[in-house]
């Protein structure tokens, strides 16, 4: 995740008032696909077990919140247009903030501002 430290700081600062969740989706830059140089080596997920193994890498970074996996049909990713990553804030089942597509428009500071206004 891009700017993961900032995301973890959001959790630390707002866990008293908000629930956080990471949905681990398909790998955007798989090593056997369109990969960045010096990126973590994660192959495209062909099975749920592959996705689970890749999610373990994220869990080693101690995300401070629950992590769940998307289906192999990528239902969450497609529903929320999340590839490669995206931040949302939901309240009462409604989307109150839809962040830009990451990594360049992934902005934890905007989420912070939304949460401050909601409190």
Complete domains list, the chain, with CATH: 4-118 (3.40.30.10)
**Closest C-alpha to 85, from 42, 27, 45, 39:** 27
Mark 53-91 as b/e (b = at least 16 C-beta within 10 Å). Answer: ebbeebeeeebeeeeebbeeeeebbeebebbbbbbebee
Tens of pLDDT, residue by residue over 8-19, are 999 999 999 999
Tens of pLDDT, residue by residue over 65-98, are 999 999 999 999 999 998 888 999 999 999 999 9
Instruction: Categorize the per-residue pLDDT at 58 as very low, low, confident or very high, splitting at 50, 70 and 90.
Output: confident
Element (H or E) spanning 71, and its range?
A: none
In this prediction the pTM is: 0.82
Element (H or E) spanning 68, and its range?
A: strand 66-69
């Amino acid at each position: 995740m891009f700017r993961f430290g900032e995301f973890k700081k959001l959790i630390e600062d707002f866990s008293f008032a908000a629930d956080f969740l990471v949905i681990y989706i398909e790998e955007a830059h798989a090593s056997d696909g369109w990969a960045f140089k010096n990126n973590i080596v994660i192959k495209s997920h062909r099975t749920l077990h592959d996705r689970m193994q890749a999610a373990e890498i994220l869990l080693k970074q101690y995300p401070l919140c629950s992590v769940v996996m998307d289906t192999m049909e990528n239902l969450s990713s497609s529903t929320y247009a999340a590839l490669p990553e995206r931040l949302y804030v939901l309240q009462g089942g409604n989307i109150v903030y839809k962040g830009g597509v990451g990594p360049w428009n992934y902005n934890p500071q905007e989420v912070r501002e939304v949460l401050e206004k909601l409190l």
